[in-house]
C-alpha cells in the first residue's frame, strides 16, 4: 500500500524567504512522486515529478524537490517566495499496481508582504 503525509496544513512565509513544504511517503515499490499546485477555484497543475534518475528535480516557477529514499521524503523548496506562490500544494505518490495516484491532504502556503 502507498501513502503520503504532508506535514503542516498551513505554512506562512515572508516574501523573499525560503519556502519548504514537507512530504513523506510510504511505498512498497519504487515510487513516482509528484507535486501539484492549486490556486483558488482552479484545478491542480503539475509543478514537478520524480520518476527515475537524478534525485534533485527542478520544476516550474523556481520550485525544486529532492527525492531522499533513506528518509522517504520528497520535500518541495523555493529559495525566495513570491506573493504569487500563495496557493495550496499537494504531494502525490504513484507506482503501485494501477495508475492511481495517492494524494496528501495538502499544504496551504501563505506569503506575507
Chain residues binding another protein by CB under 8 A are: 9, 32, 34, 36, 41-46, 49, 51-52, 90, 92, 94-96, 98-101, 103-106
Q: How far is the CB of 112 from another protein (least distance, A)?
A: 21
Q: How far is the CB of 103 from another protein (least distance, A)?
A: 5
Which cell goes with 76? Answer: 518541495
Report residue 53: phi and psi, to 5°: 90, -140
**Residues 89, 22 contacting (CB under 8 angstroms):** no
**Residues 1, 56 contacting (CB under 8 angstroms):** no
Which cell goes with 72? Answer: 522517504
Smaller CB distance to another protein: residue 41 or 84?
Answer: 41
Q: How far is the CB of 7 from another protein (least distance, A)?
A: 14
Amino acid at each position: 500500500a502507498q501513502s503520503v503525509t504532508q506535514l503542516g496544513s498551513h505554512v506562512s512565509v515572508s516574501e523573499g524567504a525560503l519556502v519548504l513544504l514537507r512530504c513523506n511517503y510510504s511505498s512498497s515499490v519504487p515510487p513516482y512522486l509528484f507535486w501539484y499546485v492549486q490556486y483558488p477555484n482552479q484545478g491542480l497543475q503539475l509543478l514537478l515529478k520524480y520518476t527515475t534518475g537524478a534525485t534533485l528535480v527542478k520544476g516550474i516557477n523556481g520550485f525544486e524537490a529532492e527525492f531522499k529514499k533513506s528518509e522517504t521524503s520528497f520535500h518541495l523548496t523555493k529559495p525566495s517566495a513570491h506573493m504569487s506562490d500563495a496557493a495550496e500544494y499537494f504531494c502525490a505518490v504513484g507506482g503501485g499496481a494501477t495508475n492511481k495516484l495517492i494524494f496528501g491532504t495538502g499544504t496551504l502556503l501563505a506569503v506575507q508582504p
